[in-house]
């Protein structure tokens, strides 16, 4: 579904990402893990061209992502971020409906989809449809954020540390939500996080990055059983041998 | 259709601001007259373009202009910015010198009544040179005091020419020569108005501000009244004060109070000045962290010590900001005061307006702008110094 | 019933009283003639009668509105241009120009326009429009910049085009601040338009200036009352409008 072929990106003199190659098949739940500065967020944002890569090729569904307009690409991907970014002047329903409206869906279909998503994310449509973002708690806001990302039924869902700003209880609840959604819909999900536990529990595959390069690319089980080096071990909480 | 990386118009173009400014300067030099020559004061002048100046002198500014263009093509650095600033200072002086020389030449050939004034092209070139300097100095990241000195330095060559007398043949300077006494009188009067306004405004405003910081109710009423006053246009406020003051003058003919003149102006201006000062004092005091006040009380400070040693110093920056805004505002408003007979530079401005004499208007406006900018920059530097020292 | 309640609410608003006073004086300043005659017995013409105050009010509003529309359009356009990614480079320079521009008293712009254009309404409208751009421009920049970066990124990530993001997100959120800028611009214009009588325009300032040069204090007060009321009414009206928009947030 998404293919990175020797991708590189520099910001001025700093190399953010170097010689990145991997493929994400459809249905994968991929976690990109690393400390800050490892390049994981940059990698994610290169997928929907919020950041333009300098070297190499990125392909989406077989086609070079540079061949279409960024907006068209992004409307086929969901994007949820840590600061959530709900639009304060719109109701919850209007926020969720953002992309379907951009795509010109008929009104009835949009309404039905909004209700469906709110229910899926554990928010009662009757109570939450007409609320304003400022009336919501952090956890509720992020649920709406995820609903908004999923609204147009994208082929891929990109998430950049979406639960970082939430308290542990809410975080756990939302993590469970994401696992459930993945199982039920079989969507491809790419999740950026610095929390190894989150990655191991949710993902079907984990890529650990450091200083712009891939350190290890394996399933959670494999990574725990055969950590590639000391860095991986320290992330697993085990320290160097 | 391939839509790759964002299309770059000219990868060689590193700095768009100097580039745009140099294009604008070119357009101004080529499109608008550099100087206007008129046989006397009453007739409007015919223009001479920069390129048409005798002896090809008009091409001299091409040198600093080239520096500007060069800086647009190079990656910005400390050196390139300093070069641009120097080039701008040179350009300002060069343009002024050219205009002054041409005016002297024309004055020698034509009658002494001839008027040579700066044309639109020259004014715009001054503006663009100044903006180029400001843009370059911006990138140097100087502190407020250094920035003030740097801007003054850019003007230095130009001011040197001015005081040396090289610009005396220009219509603007001739107006000044004709009205030297009135000009200096206006200077003194304008400054007097500003000071006579700031003093009572501070004396009244500071205590009111302190009171407003303590009492929400007082603050609400006070700011409601002051906001209404601010909304009323200055001419209207002057006008409304004339009535009562004229009445007072009639009742007490020996007091020297008259409806028009300095008094209504100063009273009105003081009223306008109250809002920024009261607001500055009140919000300055309110933003003192309550933790700091707690600690001070806990140390056993009395109310007076608390105020003078803790609250006032911490509120000072915000207050100074309010004073700065007030000063700049009063300088501008004092121009309108000339309509009610208060004198000041407004008198020159309105005289020029009535007689369609642009040079006289400019003679009145430039000092006002200069004074306002100087006060603004000076008070900013003062505030920065105080903050750095604390 | 709802309508009656809203009218009653409005009647309690100071804006309503100021507006009523303004309209009353505009239509029937004559009613105060005895008052002015008594206060200024020395004057044989206690009431400005060259033109009706209603006419002057309309002329005044006309000039301010024409200039205000131009200023708002230009200020909005420039503010939007300078906050786009491609225009950011010019932002410091534009802010410098705005700062310097605001130290120039509005009267000065008027005084410079007259020798260049001549007397009449045109230099007045031009000067008001030029000077009026500054508050709107500054407010547009501040308003658009106040939209959090996270929100802009979310909009981009969802696939909004730049123009859609501007129209659907940035402008609606910046609106209260922009409205405040327009409010400042209009109120200043009302004051400057009063002085525009020196430039040959016919406004509410005409009685004031005629009174000042002719030592007729009654004229001055009549004109000043009208100008003051107009400014206060305009300011309050904009403030109410601004509040309505903020409530929808």
When pLDDT is averaged across residues B152-164 and rounded to a whole number, the result is: 89
> Which residue among A52, A67, A69 places its CB closest to the CB of B5?
A52
Contact status of B84 with chain C (Cβ, < 8 Å): no
pLDDT band at B359 (very low <50, low <70, confident <90, very high): confident
- pLDDT computed for residue B149 by the predictor: 86
- Select the highest-mean-pLDDT range: A139-143, B51-55, B104-108, B162-166: A139-143
To the question of pTM greater than 0.90 for the whole model, the response is no
C80-130, pLDDT tens digit by residue? 999 998 888 889 889 988 988 888 888 889 988 888 888 888 889 999 999
What is the rounded CA–CA span in Å between residue B295 and residue B290?
9
pLDDT of residue B390: 56
In this structure, are residues B154 and B90 in contact, taking their beta carbons and an 8 Å threshold?
A: no
> What ipTM was assigned to the predicted interfaces of this complex?
0.87
Q: Give the separation between CA C85 and CA C46, rounded to whole angstroms.
A: 60
* Tens digit of each residue's pLDDT (9 = 90 or more) over C167-210: 999 999 999 999 999 999 999 999 999 999 888 889 999 999 99
User: Under 8 Å CB-to-CB from B281, ≥6 apart: which residues?
Assistant: B205, B206, B208, B209, B210, B212, B213, B315, B319, B322
Give the model confidence (pLDDT) of A83-120 as tens digits.
888 888 899 999 999 989 888 899 999 999 999 999 98
DSSP B43: S
Higher-pLDDT residue of B318, B77? B318
- Inter-chain CB proximity C114 and B356 less than 8 Å: yes
pLDDT beyond 50 at A132? yes
CB contact under 8 A, A69 and B3: yes
Higher-scoring residue by pLDDT: B340, C140: C140
User: In Å, how far is A81's CA from the nearest CA of chain C?
Assistant: 7
Q: What is the mean pLDDT of chain C?
A: 89
Give the pLDDT confidence score for residue C4 in this predicted structure.
81
Structure tokens at A94: 């209007």
Cβ–Cβ gap A79/C160 under 8 Å: no
Handedness of CA C18, C23, C25, C26 (dihedral sign): positive
SS3 of B80-122: HHHHHHHHHHHHHHHHHHHHHHHHHHHHHHCCCCCEEEECHHH
Query: Which tens digit of pLDDT belongs to each residue from B252-282?
Result: 877 777 777 888 899 999 999 999 999 999 9
Produce one character per residue of A181-212: b if its CB has 16 or more CB atoms within 10 Å, e if not: bbeeeebbbbbbbbbbebbbebbebbbbbbeb
Q: Nearest residue of B to residue A70 by CA position? A: B3
Count H helices and E strands in chain C, helices first.
12, 0
The pLDDT mean for chain B works out to 86
Residue with tokens 């642009």: B358
From the list B125, B145, B214, B194, the residue with the least C-alpha distance to B367 is B194
- Of residues C76 and A227, more confidence is placed in C76
Residue B3 has pLDDT above 50, yes or no: no
Report how far residue B171's alpha carbon sits from residue B118's, in angstroms, rounded to the nearest whole number.
8
pLDDT of residue C47: 85
Assigned token pair, B110? 């034509």
User: From the list C39, C103, C223, which residue is nearest B239 (CB)?
Assistant: C223
CB contact under 8 Å between C235 and B231, yes or no, is: yes
Is 70 exceeded by the pLDDT of residue B6?
Answer: no
Interchain proximity B4–A69, CB inside 8 Å: no
Give residue A22's pLDDT. 92
> Domain B180-389, CATH 1.10.3720.10 — does that match?
yes
pLDDT category at B7 given cuts 50, 70, 90 is very low
pLDDT in tens, A169-184: 989 999 998 999 999 8
- Does A48 sit within 8 Å of C158, measured CB to CB? no
Phi, psi (degrees; rounded to nearest 5) at A160: -110, 100
| Averaged pLDDT for residues B354-362 | 86
The mean pLDDT value for C218-244 works out to 91
**Average pLDDT, whole number, for chain A?**
90
pLDDT, position C28 = 86
In angstroms, how far is the first alpha carbon of chain B from the final one?
61
Residue B5 predicted with pLDDT over 60 = no
C157–A73 C-beta distance less than 8 A: no
Mean pLDDT of B199-226: 93
The pLDDT score that the predictor gives to residue B1 is 36
Look up residue C247 and give its two tokens: 């409530």
Do B228 and C110 lie within an 8 Å CB cutoff? no
Q: What is the pLDDT of residue C138?
A: 94
- What's phi and psi for A131, nearest 5 deg? -75, 160
Mean pLDDT of the B292-308 span: 83
With beta carbons under 8 A apart, name residues in chain B contacting C42: none
- Residues C75, C133 contacting (CB under 8 angstroms): yes
Judged against a pLDDT cut of 80, whether residue B388 lies above it is answered with no
> Which of C148, C160, C168 is facing A71, going by the closest CB pair?
C160
Cα gap C107→C123, rounded to integer Å: 12
Six-digit token pair at B33? 């007259």
pLDDT, position B4: 42
**Banded pLDDT at B138 (limits 50, 70, 90):** confident
> Are A67 and B3 inside 8 Å of each other by CB?
yes
**Is residue A241 predicted with pLDDT exceeding 70?**
no
**For strand A55-60 and strand A63-64, is the pairing parallel, antiparallel, or unpaired?**
antiparallel
Query: In chain B, what percentage of residues exceed pLDDT 90?
Result: 33
Distances (CA, A) of B211 to B220, B311, C81, C169: 12, 13, 44, 41
- Among the partner residues C150, C157, C173, nearest to A89 by beta-carbon distance: C173
Residue C244 CA to residue B207 CA, distance in Å, equals 35
pLDDT single digits (tens) B66-90:
888 888 888 888 888 889 899 999 9
- Of the partner residues B135, B236, B335, the one whose CB lies closest to the CB of residue C108: B335
**Distances from the Cα of A235 to the Cα of A193, A209, A238, angstroms:** 12, 11, 7
Residues 6 or more apart whose Cβ sits within 8 Å of residue C94: C78, C82, C137, C141
* Residue boundaries of the structural domains of chain C: 57-247
Spatial separation of the C-alpha atoms in residues A190 and A207, rounded to whole Å: 10
In this predicted structure, what is the pLDDT of residue C248? 58
Cβ partners under 8 Å of residue A214, min gap 6: A20, A21, A22, A207, A208
Give the pair of three-digit tokens for residue B160.
């040197």
Whether the per-residue pLDDT at B243 is higher than 90: the answer is no
Between helices B78-109 and B120-139, what is the axis angle to 10°?
160
pLDDT tens per residue, range C34-49: 888 887 888 888 888 8
- Which residues of C lie closer than 8 Å to A, measured between beta carbons? 148, 150-161, 164, 168-169, 172-173, 248-249
Give the confidence band of B196 by pLDDT, cuts at 50, 70, 90: very high
Please name the residue of chain A whose CA is at the shortest distance from the CA of residue B2.
A67
CA nearest to A57, candidates A7, A11, A22 = A7
Beta carbons of C153 and A158 less than 8 Å apart = no
The correct answer on CATH 1.10.3720.10 for the domain covering C57-247 is: yes
Neighbours of chain B (3+ CB pairs under 8 A): A, C
Q: Which of B372, B385, B370 is nearest to B144 (CA)?
A: B385
Q: Read off the pLDDT of each residue in B57-62 and give the average, rounded to a whole number.
A: 85
What are the sequence ranges of the domains in chain B?
A: 16-174, 180-389
Give Cα C14 distance to the centre of its chain. 19
pLDDT on residue B200: 95
Say whether pLDDT at C70 is over 90: yes
Give the pLDDT confidence of B324-344 residue by residue, as tens digits: 999 999 999 999 999 888 889
């Amino acid at each position: 579904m998404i293919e990175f072929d020797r991708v590189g990106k520099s910001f001025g003199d700093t190399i953010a990402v170097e010689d990145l190659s991997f493929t994400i098949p459809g249905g994968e739940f991929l976690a990109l893990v690393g400390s800050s500065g490892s390049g994981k967020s940059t990698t994610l944002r290169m997928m929907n061209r919020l950041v333009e890569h300098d070297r190499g090729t990125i392909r989406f569904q077989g086609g070079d992502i540079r061949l279409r307009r960024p907006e068209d690409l992004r409307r086929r991907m969901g994007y949820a971020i840590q600061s959530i970014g709900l639009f304060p002047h719109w109701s919850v329903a209007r926020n969720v409906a953002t992309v379907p409206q951009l795509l010109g869906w008929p009104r009835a279909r949009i309404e039905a989809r909004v209700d469906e998503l709110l229910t899926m994310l554990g928010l009662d449509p009757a109570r939450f449809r007409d609320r304003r973002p400022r009336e919501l708690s952090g956890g509720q806001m992020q649920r709406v954020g995820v609903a908004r990302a999923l609204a147009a039924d994208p082929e891929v869902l990109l998430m950049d540390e979406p639960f970082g700003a939430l308290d542990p209880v809410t975080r756990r609840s939302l993590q469970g939500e994401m696992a459930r959604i993945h199982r039920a819909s079989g969507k491809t999900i790419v999740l950026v996080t610095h929390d190894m536990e989150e990655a191991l529990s949710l993902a079907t595959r984990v890529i650990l990055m450091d200083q712009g390069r891939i350190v290890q690319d394996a399933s959670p089980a494999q990574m725990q059983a055969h950590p590639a080096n000391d860095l991986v071990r320290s992330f697993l909480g085990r320290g160097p041998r | 259709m391939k839509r790759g990386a964002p299309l770059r118009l000219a990868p060689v173009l590193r700095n768009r601001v100097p580039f745009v400014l140099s294009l604008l300067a070119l357009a101004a030099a080529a499109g608008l007259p550099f100087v206007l020559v008129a046989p006397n004061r009453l007739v409007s002048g015919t223009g001479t373009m920069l390129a048409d100046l005798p002896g090809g002198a008009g091409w001299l500014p091409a040198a600093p202009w080239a520096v500007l263009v060069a800086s647009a093509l190079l990656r910005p650095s400390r050196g390139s910015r300093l070069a641009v600033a120097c080039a701008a200072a040179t350009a300002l002086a060069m343009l002024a010198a050219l205009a002054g020389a041409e005016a002297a030449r024309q004055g020698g050939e034509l009658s002494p009544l001839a008027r040579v004034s700066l044309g639109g092209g020259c004014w715009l070139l001054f503006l663009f040179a100044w903006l180029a300097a400001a843009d370059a100095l911006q990138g140097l990241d100087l502190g407020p005091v250094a920035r003030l000195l740097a801007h003054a330095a850019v003007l230095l060559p130009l001011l040197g020419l001015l005081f040396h007398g090289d610009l005396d043949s220009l219509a603007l300077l001739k107006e000044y020569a004709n009205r030297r006494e009135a000009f200096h009188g206006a200077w003194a009067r304008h400054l007097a108005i500003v000071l006579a306004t700031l003093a009572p405004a501070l004396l009244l405003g500071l205590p009111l501000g302190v009171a407003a910081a303590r009492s929400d109710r007082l603050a609400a009423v006070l700011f409601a009244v002051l906001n209404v006053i601010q909304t009323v246009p200055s001419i209207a406020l002057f006008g409304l004060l004339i009535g009562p003051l004229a009445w007072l003058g009639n009742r007490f003919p020996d007091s020297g109070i008259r409806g028009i003149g300095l008094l209504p102006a100063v009273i009105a201006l003081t009223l306008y000045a109250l809002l920024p000062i009261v607001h500055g004092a009140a919000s300055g005091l309110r933003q003192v962290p309550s933790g700091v006040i707690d600690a001070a009380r806990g140390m056993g400070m009395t109310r007076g010590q608390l105020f003078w040693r803790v609250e006032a110093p911490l509120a000072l920056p915000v207050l100074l900001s309010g004073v700065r805004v007030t000063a700049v505002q009063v300088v501008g408003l004092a121009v309108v005061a000339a309509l009610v007979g208060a004198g000041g530079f407004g008198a020159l401005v309105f005289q020029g307006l009535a007689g369609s004499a642009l040079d006289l208007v400019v003679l009145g406006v430039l000092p006002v702008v200069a004074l306002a900018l100087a006060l603004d920059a000076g008070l900013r530097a003062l505030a920065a110094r105080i903050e750095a020292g604390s | 019933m709802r309508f009656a309640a809203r009218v009653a609410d409005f009647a309690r608003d100071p804006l309503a009283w100021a507006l009523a006073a303004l309209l009353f004086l505009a239509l029937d300043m004559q009613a105060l003639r005895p008052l002015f005659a008594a206060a200024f017995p020395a004057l044989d013409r206690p009431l400005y009668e060259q033109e009706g105050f209603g006419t002057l009010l309309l002329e005044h509003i006309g000039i301010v509105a024409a200039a205000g529309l131009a200023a708002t359009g230009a200020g909005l356009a420039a503010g939007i241009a300078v906050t786009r990614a491609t225009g950011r480079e010019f932002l410091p320079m534009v802010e410098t120009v705005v700062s310097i521009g605001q130290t120039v008293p509005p009267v000065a712009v008027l005084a410079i326009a007259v020798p260049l254009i001549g007397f009449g309404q045109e230099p007045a409208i031009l000067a008001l429009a030029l000077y009026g751009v500054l508050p709107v421009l500054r407010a547009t920049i501040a308003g658009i910049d106040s939209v959090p970066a996270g929100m802009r990124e979310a909009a981009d990530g969802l696939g909004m085009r730049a123009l859609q993001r501007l129209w659907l997100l940035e402008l609606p959120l910046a609106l209260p601040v922009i409205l405040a800028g327009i409010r400042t611009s209009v109120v200043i214009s009302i004051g400057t338009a009063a002085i525009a009588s020196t430039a040959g325009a016919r406004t509410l300032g005409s009685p004031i200036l005629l009174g000042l040069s002719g030592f007729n204090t009654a004229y001055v007060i009549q004109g000043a009352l009208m100008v003051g009321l107009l400014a206060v009414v305009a300011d309050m009206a904009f403030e109410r409008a601004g509040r309505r928009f903020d409530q929808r947030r």
